[in-house]
Structure 1
Amino acid sequence: MKVALVTGAGRGIGREIARQLAGHGMTVFAGVRDEGHAPEGSRPLPLDVTDQVAAANAAKLIGEEFGRLDVLVNNAAVCGDFGVPPAEATAAHMRATYEVGVFGVVTITHAMIPLLRASGEGRVVNMTTRLASLSLTAAREPLNTEWAMLAYNSAKSALNAITVLYANELEGAGILVNAVDPGHCATDLTGHTGTRTAAEGAAVAVRMATLGAGGPTGTFSSEEGPLPW
């Protein structure tokens, strides 16, 4: 039985990813702030992704019981500047967003890499967005909308770069690292404005989390296919 950890699994897409991976027969640790929010079929794991001690304790717990981690889904994120035009965004917006969505990803991934190496076929999925695409942004998509966010979009761009760097280094250990865009889903993060359900958004992450040997690594994609960096 494969072992998975999903961060930010207490609600929205993260909760659905944890639920669907459990449906694939995995033992799923649901990284949550409140144990009562973990989805049915998962094992709640109190986890603040910004806390190095909590990350180390989570790795120790998983390691002592299983000796490995087969799947890590870095889903936890915050959007500190929704509706704030780029010229009005401040360093405070940036720090709040990067603390979870960039530094938090590195904190958790760094703690879990030894367990992913022990798996021999580790899978890492980083939840990102097409809003992180420099190519689409340079083409002025989006322009003058609430989705042109300096902190959130650039944090996800940084996450894309992190994805490629991890993928390049860890491929030799059998670890595949990919970034996925779930699409515009109706969740708390989007103010429930999305046109897709959390379950639909989770599907692409689950597909990449369950890749077989020889699957792609260092990619950025949505359900429809590859996205431009």
Structure 2
Amino acid sequence: MKTVLITGANKSIGFETARQLLHQGYYVYLGCRDMAKGEQAAEQLKAEGLDQVEPLLIDVNNGVSVTAAAGALSQKAAVLDVLINNAGVSGGYPQSATDVPVAEVREVFETNFFGVISVTQAFLPLLKRAAEPRIVNVTSGLGSLNLHSDPSWKYYPVKLASYVSSKAALNAYTIVLAYDLRDTAFKVNAVDPGYTATDFNHHSGPGTLPDAAARVVKAAVLGADGPTGQFFSDDNAPETGISPW
């Protein structure tokens, strides 16, 4: 049975991603900052008959927590087949580049960028033991610098200094990570789940949780002939599914 760790998995897209992967036969570790919420999420899935799941305490902003989580998981599983870096924050509003508090930018980057690097590096030893390891970085269509330079793009006016910058940085890290692992069985990709109705955006998005999670799952279960180092976005590129960086 393949194993997957999903950060920020006790709610929203992360939780629905867990549900869909459980239906596909994966053993799922629900990464969560609050163990009580993680246990509650796991119990909800078990009540649906999806019992190959358990919470894993991990705060992606805390190096000690990340190291402890990697150690704890290594005691539970011989390998980790999939890592989904899903945990993320949006930051406060507005986010004008001229006056956004630097402390706020750092806070967003801690989760959306540095947290991903910390988690990825901590779990690489377990991932390297898998036959076909997969890393999925959940990004945003707003991380596309190419599209942000195009006035005709539908989201062109949505310039959020903290959030956009953090996701663009995450995309860049994804490219470098995929390159570094290019001669291995790893598949490393960034996935934009789309503008989805969640508490992250006060449920303002038009997309649904099942559709958003399905996009993440698709990258998580890529076969050996699947692409690596790509930015998947059905929202930005409905015809090809590949967004410009």
- Which range, TM-score by smaller chain? over 0.9
Gap runs ≥5 in structure 1: none
Which residue among 187, 207, 223 is the counterpart of 2:218?
207
Offset from partner CA, 1:19-40 (integer Å, 9 cap, x none):
1111111110000123234341
- Write the distance in 2 (CA, Å) between the matches of 1:98 and 1:8: 16
| 2:50 corresponds to 1:38 | no
TM-score by length of 1: 0.94
1:16 is paired with a residue whose SS is helix
| 2:198 corresponds to 1:187 | yes
CA-CA distance at 1:183 after TM superposition: 0.6
TM-score by length of 2: 0.88
CA-CA distance at 1:130 after TM superposition: 1.1
What amino acid is aligned across from residue 17 of structure 1 in structure 2?
T
2:189 is paired with a residue whose SS is strand
Structure-2 residue corresponding to 1:24: 24
Offset from partner CA, 1:163-186 (integer Å, 9 cap, x none):
011111113221110001111100
Which residue among 200, 204, 226 is the counterpart of 2:242?
226
- Write the distance in 1 (CA, Å) between the matches of 2:93 and 2:3: 34
What amino acid is aligned across from residue 38 of structure 1 in structure 2?
A
- Count of matched residue positions in the alignment of Structure 1 and Structure 2: 227
Greater mean deviation of Cα atoms: 198-207 or 86-95: 86-95
Gap runs ≥5 in structure 2: none
RMSD: 1.4
* Contact 1:11–1:37 under 8 Å retained in 2: no
| 2:8 corresponds to 1:8 | yes
CA-CA distance at 1:72 after TM superposition: 0.4
Q: Spell out structure 1 runs of 4+ moving beyond 4 A.
A: none
| 2:188 corresponds to 1:172 | no
% identical aligned pairs: 41
CA-CA distance at 1:61 after TM superposition: 2.1
